[in-house]
Structure 1
Amino acid sequence: MLRNNLKINGKNTLMKLRSSTPFFILFLLGMLIQSCSKTNYDYLLRPFNEIKQFYIVTSTGDTTKCLIQGDSITVFWNPDVAMPDKVSPRIVVDEKATVSPASGEAVSFTKNTTYTVTAENGDVKTYRLNPIVKKPLPSISNVSGNITWLSTTQLNIYGENFLVQADAANIGIYLQRVSDGFEFPLEVIKERTTNYSLIAKVPEFTESQGIGLHKLYMKIGDKPTKSVDIQVYAPDIYGAQITSSFVQDGQDIHAGDMLTINYAATDNQGGKVARFYSTNDVETVLLYISYEESVEIKQFTRTANSIQFKVPDEINKFVGKKVGQLRLFYKSAPPDQATFSSYRHTMYLTKPSNVVVK
């Protein structure tokens, strides 16, 4: 404020201050105190002695990843690049601090190498170098396809770094059923394993194995990789022996009539296949009038050996025509195979004889 007054009033104001001796002395003391405070602040010594950045440029031009934690400098070295005896790290510290050995100076690339950072105020902190060869983790990118029990014998599995951390003898492939966590191994063909692909055998089909979404993953030692999804489907219907008969064969049918299919499913594998083709597994009955005309039924009354359903009103548009075929579709059919042109998970009944819509 005084300085502003001086600038405004010029030399006359200064002369008036001098003529008033006590006031003038106070003015000079205030200026002196302000000057001394500014000087002490400007020359306060900095206490910063941390390493802010530490990195190494390899012979391939890549920059290594480093982790500074506490008094340790961990350097993660790529195993595909030969580890040198000496390195020349680039180091960043506070602008008023110093580091020894200096940034860019060649040092031994071992755990015996230490760095000392001295702050401007003399505080010292010591860091130790910790080189680690970081082996990349194996990963699965994709699989050759899904599994259909009794048909699929092996899976081709693709990814990378399969052999970086272990040889083929120590690699395990596992499938885990998502619905309940049930897990089982697949045998790896060791002599066909490379760093980027391997072949795993699908195990023998047992009663404990089911269908649905599974997680496939690799395990090396006790360390699992990230999984990929894979669908596991029921065995083809050809693995079961199904006997059936249409009770109303040879009769006229009408909308609202109750029709019955007598039905039984067995197999020569102790029921392992037939369990996917019981009456409870029938999802749709299709009444074919012609190749391009049909009526779909999804509501049933089921017993262990029969399926009963009501003829829908939709049948009325086919009055006077014959029912050419009856076909069953099952819940266990893969989505890409549960089509009218698929035969692997569907079944035709014996062709009806003279069944006319009335």
Structure 2
Amino acid sequence: MNHIVRLIYLGSLAAGMALITSCKKETEYASSPYNKIENFAVTTDGSGVINAAVSGDSILVYWPAYATLPTTISPVIRVSENATVTPASGTAVNLATGTKFTVTSQSGAARNYFMKLVLNQPGIRFNENISYAVLKGGVFSINTNRDVKYLVEDAASTKAYLVNTAGTEEELRISFQVRNNIHYVDVTIPENIPFSEGAYKLKFSSGQVSAVTAEALVGIIYPESKRPKATPLTASITVKRNSSLTFSGTSFVDMKDARVYGYNADWSEREIGTFALESFTATSATYKVPADFPKGTYELGGFDDKGMGIQLRTSDFFSFWSWMNTRKNYVEITGAVTITITD
């Protein structure tokens, strides 16, 4: 009898274990529905780690002004448990607003996120106690530690322009360089720039900010080969007051009134008067003798009280030029002749 009871008990126990095992096999867990970006980190070139801020569907990457702006980044991305992200964490992507990331939950629900690049930079600052004189096709360098600050040192994000008095802008070519541990932006004036020789304001747009200098501190200058030259006088001149006289030469450009000077007894210069410019071409310049010009016969190039020197003022934009200290350029009239001024 006990044997029979024991068999019944063992049979019931085996059936119970089978039932428990069967129940365990039938238990299922719902797939995770979560598809969030929980952390998005970017390692900069020698400047540490940037942790982006995730707000809604935006990944806000605040890029510091001191860090070089690369074309691509390989962000480390942490997402919800059991979710996946595309492109995958560590994959190189464009560092640009609009770059898309898709997080797919374990259950298959997908959510898109979009990068928003924010250049975290202060306003551009200029040192305007400086001038730049450059030929067309030439290059001038600006110290970015001292003379223009807070540029994003990336030619794709930073642009430079010359601005004329009418507000017209012409883009310049730039490149960023480091020489002797000093950072520079090298600026090239295009050979075919439509602006004539003269002074212009400088503008930079960099990232999300832009600025224009208050002063016209960039001077496009003429090459020395184009400096005007006057033909020496070979015959004496007699001219009435309130009438005109003409000088010939080459490369006359941007001519202005002529300075007429002489010498005192101690050989110091004295101003005699001014010849007013009437007109000029590339090879001649015509001036009017004012009605009050001192009469008399003068010796061109003489150093006594009857001596006379004539300087035809031309463009300020030759060789040295500075907006803070404009140096007048003159074409000297030469020749061993006399000039007589009469009524």
Q: TM-score scaled by structure 1?
A: 0.46
Larger relative strand fraction: 2
